[in-house]
Amino acid sequence: MASAALVAASPSWAADDTDLGALDLKSAPADAEQAAPQTTRLFVEAAVGSSAQRYSDGSQGLRRASVDLYHASKLAPGWRFVLSDRIDHVHPSDSGLPDTLNSLREAYVSWEGLEAGTVVDIGRINLRYGPGYGYNPTDFFRDGAVRSVTSVNPFELRENRLGTVALRAQRLWQGGSMAIALSPKLADEPSTQALDADLGATNNRNRALLSVSQQLSERISGQVLLYKEPGLDAQPGASITALVSDAAVAHAEWSYAKGPSLAAQAWQTPGSQRSGHKLATGLTYTTASKLSITGEYQFNGMALDQASWGRTSAGNPGALPAYLIEAQRLQELASRRAYLVYLSQRDFGMKGMELTGFVRVNATDHSRLAWAELRYHWSSIDLALQWQQHSGSAFSEYGLYPDKRIVQLVAAYHFK
């Protein structure tokens, strides 16, 4: 949707199924229906709204219709099939994309050995890693995976992205797991065709990932990862989640990269290599009144520093938009440092009402993205009012967005 497009741009959860309770390394709800013989979720969603334009007078009307399907079923003893698909019709569409796009998020077969503890999956799998709320340095398969952006909420971005075609083998034990995922190259370039599986977006190179997760105590769980693709050194990563008190949970997520910087990828600078750390760390506090507040600090050592950001903004007006478009495509942190505050309040004012919102701050140029949603849940229907604001000076990250302010009304019907 235009709400996520940048200038003229086309454009909580772990990979394993181990239930580690409150300390699971997730940043969105897990698939609780994993053990059910059959689960089907289907909903349709419609949105209408208006976008106040930054570079022209007046506003632009927004319309969207979406159909979202999740299905998991038992094929035979030890065998399971999972399908997750979403189709979005958006007007106006992002530059260069059709109005209608289908996102095949998952389609895989899973086999569990006769002795519980061995699981093998093959097909398109969403390999989501890391407990971070707004930035996930260990989520190595996120780049290029968002086909249609219908919300800037980081949880929805993770949920609605394309999975990666892979073979994944897992060994599960009490309180932990080890998994290896092998993802082959299947296409060269992303596709803009409406109904294409878009293997070029997710499987444009060979990749491999090894991960080990363990609940270290009743209050601490951790995960270590090693990621490899041709032409680059292996990238290590790790994350940890700790129950600080009955009401507070801390998280930290780190990875180390060596290769082209974010700017080199955006500007296609050959031979430009660097190394850097990536980090997201934060604390979530939940009150007795069901208010949950998270503060998160984010760092990307492969992004432009403050001096380079200033030179880029002043020296080449077209360079910064290209850089930000690439950061958006890769789902990378564009600034060297950033902050996020995320809150949610269940039963806000009345039972069934939910308030959710967040603010992102680019610590380099001090621009801000703010988003809030007020949603009421009936048994089968949701009705939501959403507000989004991009604030910042000229040639700042959020000051460049063509949509200055967006207001939308969203309705969803869940089939039972």
H or E, element range at 220: strand 220-228
Reply yes or no on domain 21-415 having CATH 2.40.160.100: yes
pLDDT value, residue 315: 67
| CB-CB contact of 29 with 224 (8 Å) | no
pLDDT value, residue 36: 66
CA–CA separation, 360 and 367 (whole Å): 8
Give the SS3 label for residue 365: coil
| Full pLDDT tens readout for the chain, 416 residues | 444 444 333 323 333 333 334 455 543 333 334 456 799 999 999 999 999 999 888 899 999 999 999 999 999 999 999 999 999 999 998 877 899 999 999 999 999 987 779 999 999 999 999 999 999 999 999 999 999 999 999 999 999 999 999 999 999 999 999 999 999 999 999 999 999 999 999 999 999 999 999 999 999 999 999 999 999 999 999 999 999 999 999 999 999 999 999 999 999 887 778 899 999 999 999 999 999 999 999 999 999 998 888 888 776 778 999 999 999 999 999 999 999 999 999 999 999 999 999 999 999 999 999 999 999 999 999 999 999 999 999 889 999 999 999 999 999 999 98
Over residues 244-288, the pLDDT tens digits come to 999 999 999 999 999 999 999 999 887 778 899 999 999 999 999
Task: Classify strands 381-391 and 59-76 as parallel, antiparallel or unpaired.
Answer: unpaired
Query: pTM here?
Result: 0.89
DSSP state of 209: E
Tabulate helix, strand, coil % of the chain (nearest 5).
10, 50, 40
Q: Where on the phi/psi map is residue 236: left (φ > 0), alpha (ψ -120 to 50), or beta?
A: beta
Non-local (6+) Cβ contacts of 243 within 8 A are 22, 23, 218, 219, 220, 249
